[in-house]
Amino acid sequence: MQDLELSEEQIMIRDMARDFARGEIAPYAQAWEKAGWIDDGVVRKMGELGLLGMVVPEDFGGSYTDYVAYALAVEEIAAGCGATGAMMSIHNSVGCGPLLAYGTAEQQQQWLPRLATGEVIGCFCLTEPQAGSEAHNLRTRAELVDGQWVINGAKQFVSNARRAGLAIVF
């Protein structure tokens, strides 16, 4: 098996994430775990560093990079604090990703710049009590009632839910 050769940009992103995780995340991870909350200032700084917009194109204010650099950054952040790495990964992949792939131009313009900076954190609502994460067994439904969408159903295990300002609901 051949070792993966990293580009200069990938190395720079990995090292930036590693330095940030070691200096500003790892020393506080245990306290955050105990409190059940990641410090708002650190989340804001992650946005400033481009860590929360890694899959978002620059046109929307993101720091779009390749997926190897993204994976390296998530790995380094998670090494400092697993919960912070999970928050970052969920926000980028299943928070921003579906909006990029399936959102309207208006939705993308409204949400992606705010997601890329971390002003808004995304979450993903899939798992249901009776279905687990088996999408074909979901009971949650959205219905248009008097010009407004009404969502009925129950979700559980919604990572980032307490912090989220945007939910992708299945």
All domains in the chain, ordered by first residue:
8-120 (1.10.540.10)
pLDDT score of 3 more than 80: no
What's the distance, CA 148 to chain centroid?
A: 27
The whole-number pLDDT of residue 1 equals 54
pLDDT band, residue 108 (cuts 50/70/90): very high
Tokens 């990995």 correspond to what residue? 14
Q: What is the mean pLDDT of the chain?
A: 96
Concatenated DSSP letters of 46-103: HHHTTTT-TTS-GGGT-----HHHHHHHHHHHHHH-HHHHHHHHHIIIIIIHHHHHH-
As a whole number, mean pLDDT of residues 147-160 equals 94
Could you tell me the pTM of the whole model? 0.92
Sequence letter at residue 135: A
- Give yes or no for residue 2 having a pLDDT over 80: no
Confidence of residue 34 (pLDDT cuts 50, 70, 90): very high
Query: What contacts 31, CB < 8 A, 6 or more positions away?
Result: none
The confidence band for 110, taking pLDDT boundaries of 50, 70 and 90, is very high
Average pLDDT of the segment spanning 138-160:
95
Structure tokens that stand for 71 in this block? 């994976």
What phi and psi, each to the nearest 5 degrees, are found at residue 146?
Answer: 50, 45
CA gap 133, 127 in Å, rounded:
5
Helices 67-80 and 8-20: crossing angle in degrees, nearest 10, is 20
Residues facing residue 148 across a β-bridge: 145
pLDDT above 90 covers what percent of the chain? 95
